[in-house]
Structure 1
Amino acid sequence: MFHVYRGVFPKVHQELNHWIERAKEIPNEELRTQALMSIKDKTFHCEGGGIYSLLAGSNRKEAIRFIVAYQTISDYLDNLCDRSTSMDPDDFRMLHQSMIDALTPDHPVKNYYAYREDQNDGGYLQDLVETCQSVLRDVDDYSIVHPYTLKLGSLYSDLQVHKHVKEEERIPRLQNWFEGHQRDWPGLEWYEFSACTGSTLGIFCLVSYLLSGRMDKGLAQQVEKSYFPFMQGLHILLDYYIDQQEDEEEGDLNFCSYYAHEDEMKERFSYFVEQTHEEIQLLPDRAFHQMIHEGLVGMYLADRKVGRLANGKNFVKGLLKVSGRKATFFYLNTKMYHKLKPGRSL
């Protein structure tokens, strides 16, 4: 944690400051507003992702450069889709093509706004894509990692298309999508699978190990297996858990609402915790991945929004018990951090 606060976060904010200045130059008012808001409201996404740069060794700076640019694309597009008057799946697909291109150095950049009125971003999104491409282009053996980053990036993009279309189309689309993957994951429900695809952690882990010079095909396969579906699923289910009341008030899709009752949700969250713990034992730097795993649980459950949820205290107590002492450590420290930093929320 010392290295995170002293060595990672300052560099993350340095990169973010560059993209803030770049976003201020966007000519179109709507695109400029969403670009700036996405960084302001979701800085913690880049901070959390930046922790993976500790795996990159002497190439930590390049890892942070990639992670911040890729996560900024994700957060910016999420804002554009969430706050869009468009419900056009072609629009959402084209926007998220940028996330595929960012993972594929030989892909030319495109007009990602082709299906929407607001288009002139002054090259902002293309610059983000090219930043990611430049990091990956300069690394030997990216061809080993590319099938795995592309798989995770494609699943992420599919989710964003299906979940942002017209409200009456969302669930049928997500269920039909899951039918194509259910054979691989028969133990998951459609809404759990959807959650598992909504995280960028596996991509950050793969790229950071690649930059460390330790990557081979066996490690790439193991990272994907250890992160998808359970680590990524736990990450996003926790995110949806704390947003339940907010999403209900705003009429937004929340995957936690599809559990039959709270006891079932507790049981499934515990299952994700246990499966994640089991899978990450097979990775190098096991203590690091365990820290990420337990930190996710502790920090999300410490969010102020949990206090507004019915039976939130009991849910927190039960999940912390399953997750272990370090999760409780992160939980207590995050609670203290929130007291010292009023107004901050995950």
Structure 2
Amino acid sequence: MSTHVPSQPVSLMYQGYRYIFPEVFRQLDEWKEKAEAIPDDELRSQALDSIEQKAFHCEGGGLFSLVSGDAWKQTVTFVVAYQTICDYLDNLCDQSASLDPRDFESLHYALEDAVHPENPHRDYYYYREEKEDGGYLEALVSTCQGIVKELPFYETVKQEVAELSALYGEFQVHKHVTEEERIPRLRNWHEENRSIVPDMEWYEFSACTASTMGVYTLVAYCVGDRVNQELVRRVRNCYFPYMQGMHILLDYYIDQAEDEADGEMNFCTYYESNEDLKKRIGDFMDETDRKIEEMPDAKFHRMLREGVVSMYLADEKVKDLPGAASMVPYLLNKSGRRTWFFYANVKAFHKLKA
């Protein structure tokens, strides 16, 4: 595979479909095989479901490996293992009968340990009856630890990676507790963390923490031996809060109907109107673009930002959302001409799969 960082859409899509995605699915097949051997029925079911239903998370995350040069497969290995932990734990929390925050915290110690190679494994299932996973979760954690442990410059990014990972885990805990506790917990959490983000609402702060993009970007540059303190600062400022916030607001935007049917919290419903939501997503997009200009490989990161916008807006669920006829062209036009190119390709891909 060519090791240059793509700066044009055709090159990005070629490398993604020719190299990255096949490697992602090869590794996911290996984790699926391990998941099939989980002794506990419930844990096995949730592990398999997380792989089968959420593989696209690993596909998207895998694209960050394109900044890693010849060592790109190492980044893919980290991304697939880390994202599989995220998706598996999300399933376990979603399906939990107890809604016990201690259980959710204990489960998410796995993410903390994944980015701290010196940490021993813990009993992640301490607060739940289902425990026998045949070493599945520990194997995922060990895979992440094994990658970052071998990186000569991991200490340069470790603090930022750990902070972003911790914020993600804390969000998952607050998100999954009893319905009457969720908003008070998320509001208090926002108050405690006001100093690390610009002025925004509690639900916007929550959205910014719920993406793994910043972790993957930092690890990818580290795998490619391309890190220094200035790069770490620029990646952090670009991806958190702006790129990650835009990502999750779009994710929640397309899931509004499903979340309403399932009684799930959706951040988009806290805006006073669809116009306000549209404007704020646009604001996050503008801030992301400003920060991207300060990044190395700025054209690549701009394409990823455009790809996120196009992927979500091209989703089949969008056409049934109120206000979509205004939202979609507004955001596509704001995002730029190439976003329309990506959008058309995603739409065509969906038709081929149908």
Q: Normalising to structure 2: TM-score of the pair? A: 0.96
- Unpaired runs of 5+ in structure 2? 1-12
Q: Does 1:81 align with 2:100?
A: no
Instruction: State how 1:38-77 maps to structure 2 within 5 Å.
Output: 38-77=50-89
Question: Which amino acid in structure 2 is aligned with residue 138 of structure 1?
Answer: E
Q: CA deviation at 1:183?
A: 3.4
Higher relative contact order (CA 8 A, sep 6+): 2
Q: Classify the secondary structure of the residue corresponding to 1:17.
A: helix
Q: CA deviation at 1:10?
A: 0.7
Question: Which amino acid in structure 1 is aligned with residue 159 of structure 2?
Answer: P
Question: Which amino acid in structure 2 is aligned with residue 278 of structure 1?
Answer: R
- Unpaired runs of 5+ in structure 1? none
In 2: Cα distance, 1:141 partner to 1:5 partner: 30
Q: Classify the secondary structure of the residue corresponding to 2:181.
A: helix
Instruction: State how 1:175-214 maps to structure 2 within 5 Å.
Output: 175-214=187-226
Q: CA deviation at 1:187?
A: 2.1
Q: CA deviation at 1:321?
A: 1.2
Q: CA deviation at 1:83?
A: 1.3
Q: Does 1:154 align with 2:169?
A: no
State the match for 1:101 in structure 2: 113
Q: How many corresponding residue pairs?
A: 342
State the match for 2:140 in structure 1: 128
Instruction: State how 1:304-343 maps to structure 2 within 5 Å.
Output: 304-342=316-354
Question: Which amino acid in structure 2 is aligned with residue 203 of structure 1?
Answer: V
Task: Summarize deviations over 1:36-82 as a string: whole Å, max 9, x none.
Answer: 00000000000000001111111111111000000000000000011
Taking only aligned residues, the RMSD between alpha carbons, in angstroms, comes to: 0.7
In 2: Cα distance, 1:135 partner to 1:122 partner: 22
Task: Summarize deviations over 1:101-128 as a string: whole Å, max 9, x none.
Answer: 0000000011100000100000000000
Q: Normalising to structure 1: TM-score of the pair? A: 0.98
Q: CA deviation at 1:186?
A: 4.2
Question: Which amino acid in structure 1 is aligned with residue 271 of structure 2?
Answer: Y
Q: Does 1:37 align with 2:49?
A: yes
Question: Which amino acid in structure 2 is aligned with residue 214 of structure 1?
Answer: R
In 2: Cα distance, 1:201 partner to 1:150 partner: 13
In 2: Cα distance, 1:260 partner to 1:187 partner: 18
Q: Greater shift after overlay, 285-294 or 325-334?
A: 325-334
Task: Summarize deviations over 1:210-250 as a string: whole Å, max 9, x none.
Answer: 01111111111111111000000011110000000110111
Question: Which amino acid in structure 1 is aligned with residue 114 of structure 2?
Answer: A
In 1: Cα distance, 2:328 partner to 2:208 partner: 21
Question: Which amino acid in structure 2 is aligned with residue 143 of structure 1?
Answer: E
Q: CA deviation at 1:185?
A: 2.7
Runs of 4 or more above 3 Å deviation: none
Q: Does 1:173 align with 2:185?
A: yes
